[in-house]
Structure 1
């Protein structure tokens, strides 16, 4: 996503220092001020329950934002103190789901079709000469490839996005690596000092650069720092 493009249908992770007011209103104000966008809380964080006091914390919503319950127990939240959020669990679940999806793709698509050119190649043709190769024509050329068609036609237990073809073809570790990072960060991150971190472009390489930097920043935050996930629609 280009740095000057608006954020729509995206997740922004907002970070606060331990001493800051870190409620939903403060998070939405930061998003509005820095991104000129309105959002809603996104209950995407798994909640951590400690081994010895888990029976107690399972039902208490202290240091959490917009917590969701199932049978009375807290399962998800839109944010809260970093130490109360199960960030390792989130990344592991996302990695496992991505690995299962990639392996299904490898069995049903990769093993039965020839490698195809990625969407980015056809998009570059469009940008090089929009009058000769319209966006619709670029999509037609990309989607008529047997591998892209097979991904669209697959009717099993997974949905294979042909526009992620370059990511699938990069291998299992790369595919899962993107998704566990996205689970932690989302699409952009606002630091405690008001900096915006997001990809420089739509390219996979730039997305990985951003996510690596954002994950390192998240790891370095104090355990009492607060996080809030905001969905911008």
Structure 2
């Protein structure tokens, strides 16, 4: 979620048209050109295995980037041809995990604390008067709220507070989209798509646009997820 950390801990999805050079070096070059940052492969995508010859595709890494194996079988990859990536499975897994997190938060945090103001409100205070409300002061004001303190104590990300408070479906919906896209997307023609602002609404608008773009890509297009640390 939005934090004043620049490009730290972001994932960028790089898209390649069918027939383009789509190896790790090409993805890194695009990220460096547009974001002036370096990254590493992010193994985010589940891999699809064809029903008829699934036993064979489980062990062959063709059209995949930085694939990982478990007991010899390919399980996840940082990217590859769209037709080889199980985007539906990737989204479903992220939604399932997010739902479990939200329900735990609802039981241990929401049921025992009053609603709190999200980080975006305090970040807006900083932007409005940076000399008076420094980033450190904005963070202090945010984290002194009882609900935020409880989230920190129970290892829930407090910077996701606004999404948690928006409900289970909203929280899961954000995370399955983010699992597919990350924090930014580079199109096949070199455009950089990012959220227009720090709000959750801006993030949803970006993710909806990016997901629609990925759905529109040809099955032979390629994706590569790059983590900027």
Q: Deviations over 1:129-153 (max 9, x none)?
A: 3444333333222222221111122
In the TM superposition, what is the alpha-carbon distance from 1:7 to its structure 2 partner? 2.9
Partner of 2:192: 196
CA distance in 1, matches of 2:62, 2:11: 23
Q: Deviations over 1:174-232 (max 9, x none)?
A: 11111101100011111111111111122111111110000000000001111111112
Partner of 2:181: 185
Deviates more, 1:129-138 or 1:73-82: 129-138
Partner of 2:11: 11
CA contact (8 A) 2:82 2:223 kept: yes
CA contact (8 A) 2:120 2:198 kept: no
In the TM superposition, what is the alpha-carbon distance from 1:160 to its structure 2 partner? 1.0
CA distance in 2, matches of 1:173, 1:47: 26
CA distance in 1, matches of 2:186, 2:127: 31
Q: Does 1:104 align with 2:100?
A: no
Q: Does 1:223 align with 2:204?
A: no
CA distance in 2, matches of 1:131, 1:67: 47
Partner of 1:138: 138
How many residues are treated as equivalent by the alignment?
227
Structure 1 pair 45–115 and aligned structure 2 pair: CA distance change class (3 A) = same
TM-score between both structures, scaled by the size of structure 1: 0.91
Structure 1 pair 59–161 and aligned structure 2 pair: CA distance change class (3 A) = same
CA contact (8 A) 2:109 2:150 kept: yes
Q: How does 1:118-197 map to 2 (within 5 A)?
A: 118-154=118-154, 159-197=155-193
CA distance in 2, matches of 1:111, 1:232: 36
CA distance in 2, matches of 1:121, 1:77: 37
Structure 1 pair 126–29 and aligned structure 2 pair: CA distance change class (3 A) = closer
Q: Deviations over 1:94-151 (max 9, x none)?
A: 0000000001111111111111122222222333334443333332222222211111
CA distance in 2, matches of 1:140, 1:117: 13
Extract unaligned runs of 5+ from structure 2: none
Partner of 2:92: 92
Partner of 2:77: 77
Query: CA-atom RMSD, angstroms?
Result: 1.8
In the TM superposition, what is the alpha-carbon distance from 1:16 to its structure 2 partner? 0.8
In the TM superposition, what is the alpha-carbon distance from 1:6 to its structure 2 partner? 5.5
Q: Secondary structure at the match of 1:228?
A: strand
- Match of residue 208, structure 2, among 199, 212, 217: 212
Deviates more, 1:41-50 or 1:207-216: 41-50
Deviates more, 1:126-135 or 1:80-89: 126-135
Structure 1 pair 193–129 and aligned structure 2 pair: CA distance change class (3 A) = closer
